[in-house]
Chains A and B, each alone.
Chain A
Amino acid sequence: DAGVIQSPRHEVTEMGQEVTLRCKPISGHNSLFWYRQTMMRGLELLIYFNNNVPIDDSGMPEDRFSAKMPNASFSTLKIQPSEPRDSAVYFCASSYTGGGYTFGSGTRLTVV
């Protein structure tokens, strides 16, 4: 199993540009999570999906953030337009009901 796969590993973009982060969960896992990690706020849950359905998006900072999970093997987190304060490491994680999370390697986003 290749684990949770995220792309890109690093993204540098200019303020105002659209950013799309991608995640492939572990096959067989039925839940997927997007987290944002910063020094100030630690690990923040942005949104999670159960069986491809968004369950809780209360952590999404604002309307500039959106997430989709069109099928069980793929999810995207989009920021449009991006701002410097969005700079962080974004982690995707997946799990099966009753199990722990497996995290991807993360995407380090820098918005200049």
Chain B
Amino acid sequence: GENVEQHPSTLSVQEGDSAVIKCTYSDSASNYFPWYKQELGKRPQLIIDIRSNVGEKKDQRIAVTLNKTAKHFSLHITETQPEDSAVYFCAAKLLINNDMRFGAGTRLTVKP
């Protein structure tokens, strides 16, 4: 089955700096890679996703890149703000199969 590894486990940045979180996956058949943000005491919420037919996707200050050959994908947050502080989870799955595996999460702290 799919195995997703995520790094780093914690990340602290100064407000305005960029943050990068990286994930690797094991199943080369996986073709859907979402990212979830979980604020303290709340549910994980989808913030961006990418499918394997594209290499990069952007949505305002967040972007995700995918390297299918190396089987890794990354989340990039630019101009970080204190409200970006949360735990971020990456995940991977095969689109026709609903079994999705999550990374262990990255706790991002943005210092004002």
Contacts and interface: CB of A to CB of B under 8 A. Distances in A.
A48 B99 contact: yes
B43 A43 contact: no
Interface residues of A, number: 21
Interface of A: 30-31, 33, 42-43, 45, 48, 50, 55-56, 91, 95, 97-98, 100-106
Interface residues of B, number: 19
Contacts, number: 46
Interface of B: 32, 34, 36, 42-46, 49, 89, 95-96, 98-102, 104-105
B46 A100 contact: yes
B101 A45 contact: yes
B101 A103 contact: no
